[in-house]
Amino acid sequence: MANLSLRRARTIIRKTLEQGREMALKPLSVVVLDAGGHVMAFEREDGASPGRFQIAHGKAYGAVMLGMPGSAQMQRAEDQAYFMAAVNGVFGGQVIPVPGGILLRDSKGAVLGAVGVTGDTSDNDAAAGKAAVEAVGLVADL
């Protein structure tokens, strides 16, 4: 299980959106990145604001590039704001350090990629993504 397939990425997105509807969340947007931080698939629900790709991407991209999920990045940003600001400098301003950036790990802990979820509160975004990742048999590191 070294790589994510498009089929699996698509399922993670679909299940995140379903979970969002079950939790009665605002319209969600969900991206799946591969282990190199490159976009595999994305969907933005009707009614979401137009800039949601960039936010979903920023959550997932930071997780992959740093090997740290959104909640750990947020902790670091709260402890040492200038560090996360500097990290954003070296990654071209592409990192959004809050929950909703979830590392996808296999059963051995290897990182297969990341999911980025945005649209509701950061914690709800993360919860919806977690349920979807676990539904496809992967470990959600959020």
Q: Which residues bind its own copies (CB under 8 A)?
A: 2-3, 5-6, 9-10, 34-46, 48-51, 53-55, 57-58, 64-68, 77-78, 80-98, 111
DSSP helix/strand/coil, 92: coil
C-beta separation of 30 from 16 below 8 A:
yes
Kindly tell me which of 66 and 133 has the beta carbon lying closer to its own copies: 66
Q: Shortest approach of its own copies to residue 130 CB, angstroms?
A: 20
Kindly tell me which of 89 and 107 has the beta carbon lying closer to its own copies: 89
Q: Shortest approach of its own copies to residue 17 CB, angstroms?
A: 9
Q: Shortest approach of its own copies to residue 135 CB, angstroms?
A: 19
C-beta separation of 63 from 114 below 8 A:
yes
- CA-to-CA distance for 30 and 41, rounded, in angstroms? 8
Kindly tell me which of 58 and 129 has the beta carbon lying closer to its own copies: 58
C-beta separation of 95 from 69 below 8 A:
no
Any bridge partners for residue 32, and if so which? Answer: 41, 115
